[in-house]
Amino acid sequence: MDMTPPAAPGQTATAAARQAFYQAIAAHSMTPLWEVLHALVPPSPATPCQPALWKYADVHPYLMQSGQLITAEEAVRRVLILENPGLRGQSCITQSLYAGLQVIMPGEVAPSHRHTQSALRFVVEGHGAFTAVDGERTQMQDFIITPSWTWHDHGHLGDVQSDAPVVWLDGLDIPMLRFFDAGFAENGSAKQQAVTKAQGISGHRYGANMLPVRFDARHSAPFGQTSPIFSYPYERTREALHQLEAHADIDAWDGVKMRYVNPATGGPPMPTMATFMQRLPAGFEGKPCRQTDGAVFSVVEGSGTVEIARGEQTWTFAFGPRDHFVIPSWHTARLRSAQGCVLFSFSDRPVHQALGIHREERLP
């Protein structure tokens, strides 16, 4: 039995008048703000994104199967997209970031193209692949950048019979540029771009704590605001993390966490995406924190757990080498590792900081 008291005659008349008004202004492509204000300006960030974990043991067979179903040349880029469970069908891992696992088989070439989207690559498994960016080729080792609107292609020089495929994590700002309607792409006229620069020249020129005497970051075409170094070897990063673990204070929330930088500016390697590497020492019991930038993690080595909470919901993921997980915006996360681990991650923090909207809370 409905026990709701009947509406007063005046209330009924007012509601009817409002609905008639709404229908009238809808014909002129207008709608009342007061009906949606609380959804547009919520008391705290309200994201449809969900925490998620992709176990590499589950993903790997499908990556290998994709290599049998379609060639890298046919696919242009043979990638399995890591879609956020709350954003299925939108080809994104957060509302501003794209992530996928790309596989290239021995003897293959992923053809040359360029696009306005900035990209990062983080090698997950295998060796023998290369990437070429703006006429310079580098072996695909660890963390690599593809600046916006630079020609790039990938290949695997290994032997078809004896060498294994190479898998890497792709991170791009595709959803961000889609929001701004600023996505452009162009295919190269040749399968592979001509190599015109000595391998490693960008590292020698920009990666030795020096810059060319007349270098101007504002006019450093084709890199623009992106780092002129496009390959960051993991062996250097790992050594720094372990030395800091041994000789510096351990942060109670992050362990030992460092951010990659553009050596020309001191800012992030890419204008839209920040990249990080962190070491959680053995026995680490992190404190909880949350921030407005959603972050994507790739487990480099070791194992641990991440506990993610939002309101009354809690997710706990146990992770190991080559697993991937996402912590959405304003979700409280707590990292733990019994044996110790190393995590690579990227987020849209530079955009938050540029707009003055980044917020972080480190909880006790």
Q: Please write the tens of the pLDDT for every residue from 246-264.
A: 999 999 999 999 999 999 8
Query: Do residues 228 and 139 lie in contact, with contact meaning Cβ atoms separated by under 8 Å?
Result: no
CA pair distance 25, 88, nearest whole angstrom: 33
* Beta-strand relationship, 109-115 and 152-156: antiparallel
Q: Are 284 and 255 in contact (CB under 8 A)?
A: yes
Q: Enumerate the H helices of 110-191 as residue ranges.
A: 174-179
- Structure tokens, 123: 């090698």
In this prediction, residue 279 has a pLDDT band, given cuts at 50, 70 and 90, of very high
The residue type of 159 is: D
Ordered DSSP codes for 159-178: -TTTPPPEEEEEEE-HHHHH
Range of lowest pLDDT (44-53, 88-97, 182-191)? 182-191
pLDDT in tens, 121-140: 999 999 999 999 989 999 98
Q: Rounded to two decimals, what is the model's pTM? A: 0.93
How many of the other CB atoms lie within 10 Å of CB of 65?
11
| The two structure tokens encoding residue 125 | 């498994």
- The pLDDT confidence band at residue 156, using thresholds 50, 70 and 90, is very high
CB 232 within 8 A of CB 206: no
CB atoms inside a 10 Å sphere around CB 276: 18
Domain covering 52-362: architecture: Sandwich (2.60)
pLDDT tens digits for range 48-89: 999 999 999 999 999 999 999 999 999 999 999 999 999 999
User: Which residues make Cβ contacts (< 8 Å) with residue 88, sequence separation at least 6?
Assistant: none
Read off the pLDDT of residues 194-238 as tens digits, 9 standing for 90 and up.
888 999 889 888 888 888 888 877 666 667 789 999 899 999 999
Question: Sign of dihedral through CA atoms 187, 188, 190, 192?
Answer: negative
- The pLDDT, as a whole number, for residue 146 is 94
Mean pLDDT value of segment 336-357: 98
Provide the pLDDT for residue 70: 96
Per-domain residue ranges of the chain: 14-40, 52-362
**Which tens digits make up the pLDDT trace of 6-59?**
555 557 779 999 999 999 999 999 999 999 999 999 999 889 999 999 999 999
Reference 330, options 362, 360, 298, 286; nearest CA is 360
DSSP 8-state code for residue 137: E
* Contact yes or no for 120/86 (Cβ under 8 A): no
* Cα(23)–Cα(107) distance, integer angstroms: 62
Do the beta carbons of residue 49 and residue 85 sit within 8 Å? Answer: no
Compute the distance between CA of residue 147 and CA of residue 122 in angstroms, rounded to an integer: 15
Query: Region 108-130: what's the mean pLDDT?
Result: 94
Pairing of strands 284-285, 143-146: unpaired
Q: Is 309 helix (H, G, I), strand (E, B) or coil?
A: strand
CA-closest candidate to residue 267, choices 236, 295, 233, 227: 227
362: confidence class by pLDDT, cuts 50, 70, 90:
very high
For residues 12 and 65, what is the distance between their CA atoms, to the nearest angstrom?
Answer: 62
Q: In what order do the strands lie in the sheet with 129-133?
A: 136-139, 129-133, 152-156, 109-115, 185-187
- Higher local confidence (pLDDT), 128 or 304: 304
How far is residue 77 from each of residues 91, 97, 100, 136, 351, measured CA to CA in Å?
Answer: 14, 18, 10, 20, 27
Helix/strand/coil for 90: coil
Verify cis geometry, omega within 30 degrees of 0, for the bond prior to 222. yes
Residues 6+ apart with CB under 8 A from 164: 106, 125, 126, 158
* Ramachandran quadrant class, 302 (left: phi over 0; alpha: psi -120 to 50; beta: rest): left
Chain mean pLDDT for the chain: 93
- pLDDT at position 123 is 97
Question: Closest Cα partner for 226 from 299, 325, 168, 152?
Answer: 152
Q: How is residue 247 written in tokens?
A: 């000789």
